[in-house]
Chain A
C-alpha cells in the first residue's frame, strides 16, 4: 500500500529548563513571562545566579537595581550571574 501525504501540520510545545516552577520574585511560572512583559519566550528568559537560583531576568534586575545589597533573594549570597547558562 502506498500512502501519499498531501498535507500535515506539526504542533510543538516548549518550556524553559528550570528546576523551580515559579520565579521567586513575581511568583509567575517561568514558562509565562514576568509581570512587565506580555509575551513569554526569548524576550523574557530566566537567568541563574552562581548559587543556582533562577529568576526572570527582568525581575532579578529590578531587585538588584532597587537594592544596595546585591544579594540573591533566596539565599542572600552575593548575586553573580552564572555565565554558562543551560
Chain B
C-alpha cells in the first residue's frame, strides 16, 4: 500500500501524530506504512486509568475512501463493545466511516469509548462471536449498532 495513491496522506498523518500526539496516544510501530501499531493509555479517573493497550491499523490502497481495519492486538480491554479477540464494535470503523477521519481521531474515539464505560464487562455474545470470527477481519462482520450509551 505504501505505493498507493494516498500514501502521502498517510505519511502526513504519521508526521503529525508523531510531532504532536494526542494525550494517551503513541505510535509504537509504523515501519511499514500499511500497518501501524498504536499504544493507547487509559485516561485518568476512568476505569482504564493507566492501562496500556495496543491497537493495530491496517490500510488498504483505497484508504481513506475505505476505512482502515482497526483492532486490539495482545490483551484487549474488557469492555461491552470490545470482543476478546480484539474486534471493536464502533460504527465509525465500518458503516459510518468518513474519509475526513484520521488515525488520530479514531484513536481519540476509542479512548473516549473506554472513558465513558461504567462497568468492565465483555460483550454479551463474546464467546459466540469470537468462535465464529477466527481468522476473519472485523471489517467482514455485519455489525449492528444499537447502543450509543457506552
Residues of A that sit less than 8 Å from B by CB: 24-28, 35-36, 59, 62-63, 66-67, 71, 73-74, 76
Contacts and interface: CB of A to CB of B under 8 A. Distances in A.
User: Can you list the 4 inter-chain pairs with the closest CB atoms, starting with the nearest?
Assistant: A73-B100, A24-B100, A73-B98, A35-B5
Interface residues of B, number: 13
26 contacts: A24-B99, A24-B100, A25-B64, A25-B65, A25-B99, A25-B100, A26-B6, A26-B8, A27-B8, A27-B13, A28-B9, A35-B5, A35-B6, A36-B5, A59-B99, A62-B65, A63-B65, A63-B99, A66-B62, A66-B65, A66-B66, A67-B65, A71-B98, A73-B100, A74-B98, A76-B98
A31 to B, nearest CB: 15
Contacts of B100: 24-25, 73-74
Contacts of A36: 5
Interface of B: 5-6, 8-9, 12-13, 62, 64-66, 98-100
B58 to A, nearest CB: 18
Given A25-B64, A63-B99, 17 more contacts: A24-B99, A24-B100, A25-B99, A25-B100, A26-B8, A26-B9, A26-B64, A27-B12, A35-B5, A35-B6, A35-B8, A35-B9, A63-B65, A67-B65, A73-B98, A73-B99, A74-B100
Contacts, number: 36
Contacts of B65: 25, 62-63, 66-67
